[in-house]
A and B are shown apart, each in its own frame.
Chain A
Amino acid sequence: MYTVDYSKPQDARAAQVEDADRLAAFDARVAADDFIEPKDWMPEAYRKTLIRQISQHAHSEVVGMLPEGNWLTRAPSLRRKAILLAKIQDEGGHGLYLYSAAETLGVTREELIEALHSGRAKYSTIFNYPTLTWADIGAIGWLVDGAAIMNQVALQRTSYGPYARAMVRICKEESFHQRQGYEALMVLANGTHAQRRMAQDALNRWWWPSLMMFGPPDDNSPNSAQSIRWRIKRETNDELRQRFIDATVPQAEALGLSIPDPALKWNEATQHYDCGQIDWEEFYAVVRGEGATAKDRIQARIDAWEKNAWVREAALAHAAKRSTKQAA
């Protein structure tokens, strides 16, 4: 997973011509915490918002295979290599669940992939950062999967049934990988001087991008209000972000690593950590596709798709021959 809803809903408000009775019934069901299912009536803007959010979530899983895959051939032990390979495999599987969930809304996986490759659909900003050392793999497991889980646990109660069910399945696997990521980092934090330095450097580089995974601040999140009314989202970006910080700071302390935020401080009155200002300029730049590895990531996906088109064509041609033979 790991997505946040970034792109603007061009047509979210265009669909108000719909049957007022149906809309009222829909609103009542959502308010009563009923799950909406594929054959149920839904407002067109709800459908489109979900297609956007679920597909971007799916794309994030698939693009997210690349930064971790970058270290597969260099993993420093066979055990770590096997864990990483299993994890990336799970991500591909999560992508498949999510594409299936999106397809229940009346789009095809091919259309969604086309939207990703052409730049119309987005994926999580986090995957536009490079993995520079082995410690980054632990940091991604711990922080990035941790942030993802925070988001996804909330989405287990999202109003669209197929999406909620995908989240339940995904969260189970994801929590396991998160623990493994943390454990990998723990070994480094308790290892040699060079390993400890590597772990701290990874935390320094991944901390702020992980906080950005929760999306823009509530006062600048135009989709949030409608998504919360429809119970697609159950909690705001800032609420989830705060919960992540509160859960993660003690974990960093347990590792003996320091969070790269001089303003970070426990607030006895609020019972939360206060923290410094996120660099929103960087966030919006990455959303616009100006992240360090943005071009590489999308190019890798386009290449995998286009350079292997002949394989998919062969499979289709073979299947067609086979069904002709069977029909004869």
Chain B
Amino acid sequence: MSQTFTLSPAELALRLGDDALILSHRLCEWCGHAPTLEVDLALSNIGLDLLGQAQFFLNYAGEMENAGRDADALAYHRDEHEFKNCLLTEQPNGDFARSIVRQFFFSAWQQLRFHELAKSGDATMAAIATKALKEIAYHVQFAAEWVVRLGDGTEESKCRVADGISWSWRFVDELFTGEDAALRPAWEARVRATLNEAGLDLPAPVRGITGGREGRHSEYLGHLLAEMQYVQRCHPNAQW
């Protein structure tokens, strides 16, 4: 598609910022409800890293837009059709297996994407990516280790992680549109290695569901934003 070649840096920053913002929000929902205290801390930790990335990207997107909007304005005062996150990140947490697979697929993609971005001629984007890559390496490791534990754990955990893979698999295509298509072989190799270690196979291709990048989301995002934005929307001119 020619669209990706005309993708502006502002649009890219918005996409990457929204990915991080929305997935971070989902991880916040786990807080206090995880299988162990250690996992609770790890999920919050990843959520906090992603929130930091979101702030960097969205502030930069706002700067480039030059209309006086900062990360908060972009996070709290856009409607759902203006959000550009991929559909994968807005999927509900489901059980722990679904959340872990979502994390693994996303973080493995982010690692490849940011590796490219770190070489970008845009110094700000490259700096954000370079900082984030250190965090992402940890996220990928954490998620991959859990995919293996669940896949190579009990019968039940194997079924659940297989369900998690099938839930998320429909949203993978969206990660590899336009020039990002080139990242797919490396991503599949990374994912296949972990799934094999877990005793699982890479699923057969399915018809991908896309739309997030164009602001056409699942039914889940509206609810997420209603919750996330409500205080700001009630007090639009207040400082916090």
Instruction: Report which of B52, B231, B237 forms a contact with A82, defined as CB distance below 8 A.
Output: B52
Bound complex: CA A318 to CA B158 (Å): 11
- Measured CB to CB, the nearest residue on chain A to B74 is A78
Q: When the two chains form their complex, are residues A318 and B152 in contact, meaning their CB atoms are under 8 A apart?
A: yes
Among A13-21, A92-100, A229-237, the stretch in contact with B? A92-100
Instruction: Report which of B33, B153, B157, B237 forms a contact with A300, defined as CB distance below 8 A.
Output: B33
Chain A residue contacts of B230, Cβ below 8 A: 74
Chain A residue contacts of B189, Cβ below 8 A: none
Q: When the two chains form their complex, are residues B154 and A73 in contact, meaning their CB atoms are under 8 A apart?
A: no
CB distance from B144 to the nearest CB of A (A): 13
Q: Known: A89-B41, A92-B37. Contact between A314 and B235, CB under 8 A?
A: no
Q: When the two chains form their complex, are residues B51 and A310 in contact, meaning their CB atoms are under 8 A apart?
A: no
Chain B residue contacts of A307, Cβ below 8 A: 95
Q: Mark A78-105, 1 if CB is under 8 A from B, else 0.
A: 1111100110110011011001000000
CB distance from A76 to the nearest CB of B (A): 4
- Measured CB to CB, the nearest residue on chain B to A304 is B33
Chain B residue contacts of A315, Cβ below 8 A: 149, 153
Chain A residue contacts of B95, Cβ below 8 A: 307
| B34 CB–A CB distance under 8 Å | yes
Chain B residue contacts of A66, Cβ below 8 A: 32
Chain B residue contacts of A294, Cβ below 8 A: none
Bound complex: CA A166 to CA B238 (Å): 39
Instruction: Report which of B33, B71, B231 forms a contact with A76, defined as CB distance below 8 A.
Output: B231
Q: Known: A82-B52, A134-B231. Contact between A72 and B31, CB under 8 A?
A: yes
Q: When the two chains form their complex, are residues B28 and A85 in contact, meaning their CB atoms are under 8 A apart?
A: yes
| A298 CB–B CB distance under 8 Å | no
Bound complex: CA A99 to CA B240 (Å): 35
| B174 CB–A CB distance under 8 Å | no
Bound complex: CA A78 to CA B73 (Å): 10
- Measured CB to CB, the nearest residue on chain A to B152 is A318
| A311 CB–B CB distance under 8 Å | yes
Q: When the two chains form their complex, are residues A82 and B48 in contact, meaning their CB atoms are under 8 A apart?
A: yes
Bound complex: CA A184 to CA B34 (Å): 28
For chain B, the bracket of interface size reads: 35 or more
| A77 CB–B CB distance under 8 Å | yes
| B213 CB–A CB distance under 8 Å | no
Q: When the two chains form their complex, are residues B154 and A78 in contact, meaning their CB atoms are under 8 A apart?
A: no
CB distance from B160 to the nearest CB of A (A): 7
Bound complex: CA A312 to CA B230 (Å): 36
Q: Mark B180-195, 1 if CB is under 8 A from A, else 0.
A: 0000000000000000
Chain A residue contacts of B152, Cβ below 8 A: 318, 321
Chain A residue contacts of B52, Cβ below 8 A: 82
Q: When the two chains form their complex, are residues A78 and B228 in contact, meaning their CB atoms are under 8 A apart?
A: no
Chain A residue contacts of B156, Cβ below 8 A: 310, 313-314
Q: When the two chains form their complex, are residues A95 and B231 in contact, meaning their CB atoms are under 8 A apart?
A: no
Q: When the two chains form their complex, are residues B33 and A82 in contact, meaning their CB atoms are under 8 A apart?
A: no
Chain A residue contacts of B48, Cβ below 8 A: 82, 85-86, 89
Q: When the two chains form their complex, are residues B238 and A313 in contact, meaning their CB atoms are under 8 A apart?
A: no
Q: When the two chains form their complex, are residues A65 and B72 in contact, meaning their CB atoms are under 8 A apart?
A: no
| A289 CB–B CB distance under 8 Å | no
Instruction: Report which of B76, B149, B237 forms a contact with A192, defined as CB distance below 8 A.
Output: B237
Q: When the two chains form their complex, are residues B29 and A78 in contact, meaning their CB atoms are under 8 A apart?
A: no
Q: When the two chains form their complex, are residues A187 and B149 in contact, meaning their CB atoms are under 8 A apart?
A: no
CB distance from A231 to the nearest CB of B (A): 29
Q: Which residues of chain B from 67 to 91 have a CB within 8 Å of any chain A CB?
A: 71-72, 75-76
Q: When the two chains form their complex, are residues A73 and B44 in contact, meaning their CB atoms are under 8 A apart?
A: no
Chain B residue contacts of A93, Cβ below 8 A: 41
Q: When the two chains form their complex, are residues A78 and B71 in contact, meaning their CB atoms are under 8 A apart?
A: yes
Q: Known: A74-B228, A304-B33. Contact between A317 and B153, CB under 8 A?
A: yes
Bound complex: CA A88 to CA B43 (Å): 12
Instruction: Report which of B21, B32, B54, B71 forms a contact with A69, defined as CB distance below 8 A.
Output: B32
| A116 CB–B CB distance under 8 Å | no
Bound complex: CA A88 to CA B35 (Å): 16
Instruction: Report which of B21, B44, B54, B71 forms a contact with A89, defined as CB distance below 8 A.
Output: B44
Instruction: Report which of B39, B41, B54, B157 forms a contact with A310, defined as CB distance below 8 A.
Output: B157
Q: Which residues of chain B from 126 to 158 have a CB within 8 Å of any chain A CB?
A: 148-150, 152-154, 156-157
CB distance from B56 to the nearest CB of A (A): 10
CB distance from B232 to the nearest CB of A (A): 5
Chain B residue contacts of A99, Cβ below 8 A: 37
- Measured CB to CB, the nearest residue on chain A to B234 is A194
Q: Mark B1-44, 1 if CB is under 8 A from A, else 0.
A: 00000000000000000000100010011011111111111001
Given known contacts A76-B232, A305-B35, A321-B152, what 10 new A-B pairs fall within 8 Å (CB)?
A76-B76, A77-B240, A85-B28, A89-B41, A99-B37, A304-B33, A309-B35, A310-B160, A311-B39, A311-B157
List 29 A–B pairs whose Cβ atoms lie within 8 Å, in order of A's numbering. A69-B28, A72-B31, A73-B28, A74-B231, A77-B76, A78-B54, A78-B55, A78-B71, A78-B72, A79-B55, A86-B48, A88-B44, A89-B48, A93-B41, A96-B38, A134-B231, A187-B240, A192-B237, A195-B238, A308-B35, A308-B96, A310-B157, A313-B153, A314-B149, A314-B150, A314-B153, A314-B156, A315-B149, A317-B153
Closest 8 CB pairs of A and B: A314-B153, A314-B157, A308-B35, A311-B35, A76-B231, A69-B31, A65-B32, A72-B28
